[in-house]
């Protein structure tokens, strides 16, 4: 089997499921946000002079990190996720040092069919960490 197969499966499943996507930023720090099960979403945070943030830590509902990348044009670190299970989760993204606060957001994932977000529209297919 080719190496592309596991990486292609995620984007194919997202498209077939009719997923939705939305963006969260530093403005959402400490908030509880709501998305639908099967939805894709992004956390976009300003790049730090001290270096890249650590990989996200997810606790609670099944939220799978898909990709972490740097958008040089907008000077943002972009973290991509998909909400695979309903329930509540907390996502923590630690900075490289103690000079910047940790980004924390609580995500309430609604069961399938109750999503209120826009269609998934990533310009790049999801990968994995």
Q: Are 103 and 29 in contact (CB under 8 A)?
A: yes
> Domain containing 35 — which CATH number?
2.60.40.2020
Q: State how far the Cα of 90 lies from the Cα of 83, in Å rounded to an integer.
A: 12
Q: In the chain, how many domains are there?
A: 1
pTM (2 decimals)? 0.72
Do the domain assignments include residue 121?
Answer: no
Instruction: Give the residue, 120 or 77, on which the prediction is more confident.
Output: 77
Do the domain assignments include residue 122?
Answer: no
Do the domain assignments include residue 126?
Answer: no
pLDDT in tens, 104-117: 999 999 998 654 54
Query: Which pLDDT score is estimated for 61?
Result: 85
3-state secondary structure 102-128: CEEEEEEEECCCCCCCEECCCCCCCCC
Q: State how far the Cα of 96 lies from the Cα of 51, in Å rounded to an integer.
A: 6
Q: Which domain holds residue 80?
A: 4-116
Do the domain assignments include residue 55?
Answer: yes
């Amino acid at each position: 089997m080719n190496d592309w197969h596991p990486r292609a499966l995620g984007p194919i499943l997202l498209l077939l499921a009719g997923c939705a996507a939305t963006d969260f930023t530093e403005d959402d720090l400490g908030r509880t946000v709501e998305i639908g099960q099967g939805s894709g979403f992004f956390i976009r945070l300003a790049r730090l002079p001290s270096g890249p943030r650590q990989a996200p830590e997810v606790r609670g509902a099944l939220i799978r990190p898909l990709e972490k990348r740097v958008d040089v044009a907008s000077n943002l670190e972009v973290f991509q996720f998909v909400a695979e299970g309903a329930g509540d989760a907390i996502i923590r993204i630690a900075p490289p040092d103690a000079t910047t606060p940790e980004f924390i957001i609580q995500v309430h994932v609604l069961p399938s069919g109750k999503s209120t977000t826009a269609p998934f529209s990533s310009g790049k297919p999801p990968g994995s960490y």
